[in-house]
Amino acid sequence: MSRQTWAFGGLFLVALISWQWFKPVATKPASQQDYQPDFIAKNLKSVQFNQLGLPYRSLNADYAEHYEPLTMTLMEKPVILLYTPNGEPQWRLSGDEGMINTDDNAVLNGNVIGKGLQAQAVIKTLTTEYLELDFINNQLRSNRAVQLSSPTYQAHGQGLLGQIDQQTVELLHDTQATYTTP
C-alpha cells in the first residue's frame, strides 16, 4: 500500500470519528420532551380589548407559566372575567388551577365558581370542580357535578352546556331543582 492510500484511509477514519462525535442529538418525541416555561409571572393581570377599545376578557392569576411551543399557559388561582359587547362585566369565573390556550379555550379545575354579574342574570352562582370555556363558540362545558343558584331556585345535576353570551346553561343529567317564590 502506498502512503497516499494510508493518508486517505486515516483522513476517512478521522472524518468518521468526528461525524460520530459531533452528530446532532436526536430530539425526543413531543410526549417525552421536558418543556421549560418561556416565562413565569406572579400576580398576572391581563385585559383584552375588542375593536371598539372595550374590554371583552380579562385574566388574573396568582402564578402563571407560559409555554410558547404548546401555546398554553398554566395558572394557579385564575380569575377570568368575561364582558358583554358593551364592555360591562358579565361573568366572573375562578378556580384553584387553570390552563388557557391562546385565543382558543380555557379549563378551570378545583373549586370552580362562576358568578353572573349582570343584574338580570338568570344564574347568580355556578359551582363545580371542572369547567371548560370555549371562546370560539362562546360555550361553557363540564362533565362533573354542577350546582346552580339564584334568588328563585337551586339546581344541581351532572354535566353542563351553556352559552356565555346568552347567559343560558343546561344541566345534562340527573337534574334536580327547587324553585321558590320571592
CATH number at residue 112: 2.60.450.10
24 lies in some domain: no
- Residue 33 inside a domain? The answer is no
pLDDT of 30 > 60? The answer is no
Q: Within a domain: residue 27?
A: no
Q: Left if phi > 0, otherwise alpha if psi is -120 to 50, otherwise beta: which for 53? A: left
Grid cell 392569576 is found at 61
Distance between CA 56 and CA 59 in Å, rounded?
11
- pLDDT score at 26: 56
Q: Confidence class of residue 123 from pLDDT cuts 50, 70 and 90?
A: confident
Condensed to tens digits (0 to 9), the pLDDT of residues 127-160 reads 999 999 998 888 999 999 999 998 888 999 999 9
Phi, psi of 8 (to 5 degrees): -65, -40
The total domain count for the chain is: 1
Distances (CA, A) of 166 to 34, 57, 162: 41, 16, 8
Is 28 within a domain? no
The pLDDT score that the predictor gives to residue 1 is 61
Q: Which of 17-26, 91-100, 168-177 has the highest mean pLDDT?
A: 91-100
Domain assignment present for residue 1? The answer is: no
Non-local (6+) Cβ contacts of 28 within 8 A are none
| 112 DSSP β-pair partners | 128
Q: Which helix (H) or strand (E) holds 14?
A: helix 3-22
Look up the pTM and report it: 0.77
**pLDDT by residue (tens digit) across 54-81?**
998 999 999 999 998 888 999 999 999 9
The chain-wide mean pLDDT, for the chain, equals 86
User: Domain containing 120: what range?
Assistant: 39-179
CB atoms within 10 A of CB 82: 21
Say which residue the cell 345534562 belongs to. Answer: 172
Residue 31 lies in a domain: no
* 89 occurs within a structural domain: yes
DSSP letter for 16, please. Answer: H
Rounded to 5 degrees, what angle do the CA atoms 34, 39, 45 make? 135
Q: Looking at the predicted structure, is the pLDDT value of residue 31 above 60?
A: no
Residue 11 within a domain? no
